[in-house]
A and B are shown apart, each in its own frame.
Chain A
Amino acid sequence: MNDLTRIPVREQDPKVRAGNFEEVCMGYEEEEAVTEAKRCLNCKKPLCVSGCPVAIDIPAFIMEIQQRNFSKAYQVISRHSALPAVCGRVCPQETQCEGKCIRGIKGEPVAIGKLERFAADYALEHGISPEKPEKTNGHKVAVIGSGPAGITCAGDLARLGYEVTVFEALHKFGGVLVYGIPEFRLPKEKVVEKEILKVQELGVKFQKNVIVGRTVTIDQLLEEDGFEAVFIGSGAGLPRLMGIPGENANGVFSANEYLTRSNLMRAFDASYDTPIAAGKKVAVVGGGNVAMDAARTALRLGAEVHIIYRRGEEELPARAEEVHHAREEGIQFHLLRNPKEILVDEKGYVCGIRVIKMELGEPDESGRRRPEEVVGSEYVIDADTVIMALGTSPNPLISSTTKGLDVNKYGCIIAKEENGQTSRECVYAGGDAVTGAATVILAMGAGKNAAIGIHEYLTKQE
């Protein structure tokens, strides 16, 4: 080994893991973490920090790992992030902190994500709690949604002394961390539940089965229930579909449905009541993280899986590690292909998907080269199940029941990026409800900014 390469991380063998839901990546052991931490140059002007949406003091925590002060390393991270064990696993580090690491210019960047995960897992295993405020300031804030945005906002406000209540619509806390991201990438009991427990230890109250907009409205929270400010982190909404023939046939699922059945309802475990029609030959449409998650879930449920994506390899929006893992596990990629029609048998079930070849033209407004159809290149891929992973459009429950809350033409709540302020006084928002489907860490960044925004607002009111 030399300075240019990082310490490799242990992973489950692809052949073995393709048949189970255990975590793929096993993380660093102490010696591995300390050795990798020694690769950090402890830059005076650390570019990695500028690449982190929640501005974790990265060199500081890595120096603590170097010194074997693992508990201190966790405390450094937890001042900036309420969910380090989650972020260490699901952040797109290659385009954020690690993408800016000086080591990456000549060789591999420091494995910041794996080190973050190591410190956070150490804290979970050793029952180390984040530092708590001495007393509360008596001000009540409501947080809607217990996903990454809500948890971060709640944690930060609690650290500032606020009395925070988080309202969750579903029966489990964690939002997309629980219903969306699969067990093999983010263990629920071992990581998500425990990390949320640490936010509870900060004094945050959690209420499940409360659908804000229906069970209680934002106006009721503010006018009747004594909350002085509200943060909306209600997440993404209804699945987007393509509008092609056959899309409502039996065997066509949104990735949201497929993943919710498997993750939230644990359909992969036969002792749970909720069923999943796993499929034998599954086509997943889309190239993002959700597409990879759905594909790898179907694979573990015993299917042969094909990913269909309309752009090329370089444009795949998923994390590099997920694409790499999916390939290793035997998922077949059909790049530069776009579905035209889902073929349906006489009983109403999916029997294939007709695709057309694409080629890349001039860049579009997203800066990516626009895919264009190759005339006369259509052909059929056999499939009994199609999973649509094309993103989501915003959930209307809150915007349609809150007067004066402005949304954009897509239905996303309009909020200022720097502090989450919406068009309504005392109402802040962030995460997918504002941006449309994005990443865990961007939602956390928005939750963090909104916590500061709410704190500044309520301080001014006094």
Chain B
Amino acid sequence: MYKILHGEKLADQIYLMDIEAPQVTRNCLPGQFVIVKTDEKGERIPLTICDYDRDRGTITIVFQIVGASSYKLSKLKAGDRLNDFSGPLGTPCEFLNEDFKQLKKKKYLFVAGGVGAAPVYPQVKWFHEHGLEADVIIGSKTKDMLIMEEKLKAVAGTLYITTDDGTYGSCGMVTEVIKDLIEREGKRYDHCVAIGPMVMMKFVCLLTEGYGLPTTVSMNPIMVDGTGMCGGCRLNVGDDVKFACVDGPEFDGHKIDFDLAMKRNQIFQSFEQEAYQHARHEGCRCCGGEKS
């Protein structure tokens, strides 16, 4: 059992938790993910690591409610325990393997959309801890949905914030900010890392391809085991079929077939909706439930 040491609600439907899991902190690195399973009947939920503390042996996760299992997870509090918590999974960020002298010469731009701010954080933090400055853009639907602002501000070179409805920061999509920085402010970047909803990553990649700016994305396809067995997370990357759980989750964004990936992510949408209602006991599939 894995103890929840801290839990908080970051925004509507978005939660943060610190989980005691020293076996995961032993080897984890930015870019990797964990699998969380609340109880015997829960799903295996893949979540990118948001932060880790090797001394305390804790992993920080951030998640949004999408179905029954993430709903059940959101109902747990500090002191509660999770049935299963495994990881780290996936390949760590590519820049960790790069020659540090080379990396030092490069200017990185991190682009986060929605909950994507969580997996971007440990990467920017790593840059900061190694004396490197990276610019960060966070995009959010609206001010109330914005997360990780303070944390990212503390580790980013310059932090840019934009909201779709203009309630905070500038108004518009993250792609507008990228355009602005490169075309109007004349900023030069050597590498971009974009993490967020697939549609956001798709449009960031279309834009950066035009600038010839190499872009890494972190994919979040459907997974069951997450250990390289089920093949549910397969993606078309260039001419190859790749598995996000072992080959990724980070890939060269200019090679990803986003349209296919987005279609594949819809396979279980109706099931998720039904399971969510079941978990909330509205029109429950076992007993009919209470109508809400």
Interface residues of A (CB under 8 A from B): 169-171, 179, 208-211, 214-217, 220, 236-239, 241, 247-248, 250-251, 253-254, 256-257, 260-261, 264-266, 270-275, 277, 347-348, 395-397
Assess the B246–A397 pair: CB atoms within 8 A: yes
Q: Which residue of chain A is the closest to B223 with respect to CB atoms?
A: A257
> Which one, A208, A273, A395, contacts B227 given CB within 8 A?
A395
Please tell me if B88 contacts chain A, counting CB pairs below 8 Å: yes
Q: Determine the chain B residues whose CB is within 8 A of the CB of A251 once the complex forms.
A: 267
What are the 7 tightest A-B residue pairs by CB atom distance, in nearest-first order?
A275-B271, A209-B86, A257-B230, A239-B231, A254-B231, A348-B263, A171-B84
Q: What is the bound-complex CA distance between A265 and B225, given in angstroms?
A: 9
Assess the A214–B231 pair: CB atoms within 8 A: no
Q: Nearest-CB distance from B239 to chain A (Å)?
A: 11
Assess the A214–B83 pair: CB atoms within 8 A: no
Assess the A256–B229 pair: CB atoms within 8 A: yes
Q: Which residue of chain A is the closest to B38 with respect to CB atoms?
A: A273
> Which one, A169, A236, A261, contacts B224 given CB within 8 A?
A261
Q: What is the bound-complex CA distance between A170 and B44, given in angstroms?
A: 10
Assess the B41–A270 pair: CB atoms within 8 A: no
Q: A170-B225, A256-B229 are in contact. Are A270 and B285 (CB under 8 A)?
A: yes
Interface stretch, picked from B19-27, B117-125, B142-150, B198-206, is B19-27
Assess the B227–A169 pair: CB atoms within 8 A: yes
Q: A215-B24, A256-B231, A261-B224 are in contact. Are A273 and B86 (CB under 8 A)?
A: no
Q: Determine the chain B residues whose CB is within 8 A of the CB of A396 once the complex forms.
A: 228, 246
Q: Which residue of chain A is the closest to B245 with respect to CB atoms?
A: A238
Assess the A179–B229 pair: CB atoms within 8 A: yes
> Which one, A215, A254, A273, contacts B230 given CB within 8 A?
A254
Q: Nearest-CB distance from B89 to chain A (Å)?
A: 6
Assess the B42–A273 pair: CB atoms within 8 A: yes
Q: Determine the chain A residues whose CB is within 8 A of the CB of B85 once the complex forms.
A: 209
What would be 20 A-B contacts, judged by CB atoms less than 8 Å apart? A208-B86, A209-B84, A209-B85, A214-B88, A215-B23, A215-B24, A215-B86, A237-B229, A238-B243, A239-B231, A254-B230, A264-B225, A266-B41, A273-B41, A273-B68, A277-B268, A277-B271, A348-B263, A395-B227, A397-B227
Assess the B241–A248 pair: CB atoms within 8 A: yes
Q: Determine the chain A residues whose CB is within 8 A of the CB of B26 once the complex forms.
A: 215-216, 220
B221-251: CB near A (< 8 Å → 1, else 0) gives 0001101111110101000010100100000
Q: What is the bound-complex CA distance between A277 and B269, given in angstroms?
A: 11
Q: Determine the chain B residues whose CB is within 8 A of the CB of A171 once the complex forms.
A: 37, 44, 83-84, 86
Assess the B86–A216 pair: CB atoms within 8 A: no
Q: What is the bound-complex CA distance between A210 and B24, given in angstroms?
A: 9
Q: In this complex, which of A261, A273, A348 has the most chain B Cβ atoms within 10 angstroms of its Cβ?
A: A273
Please tell me if B256 contacts chain A, counting CB pairs below 8 Å: no
Q: Nearest-CB distance from B95 to chain A (Å)?
A: 19
Please tell me if B87 contacts chain A, counting CB pairs below 8 Å: yes
Q: Determine the chain B residues whose CB is within 8 A of the CB of A236 once the complex forms.
A: 229
Assess the B42–A250 pair: CB atoms within 8 A: no
Q: What is the bound-complex CA distance between A250 and B285, given in angstroms?
A: 24
Q: What is the bound-complex CA distance between A210 and B85, given in angstroms?
A: 9
Q: Determine the chain B residues whose CB is within 8 A of the CB of A241 once the complex forms.
A: 231, 234, 241
Q: What is the bound-complex CA distance between A274 and B46, given in angstroms?
A: 13
Assess the B264–A265 pair: CB atoms within 8 A: no
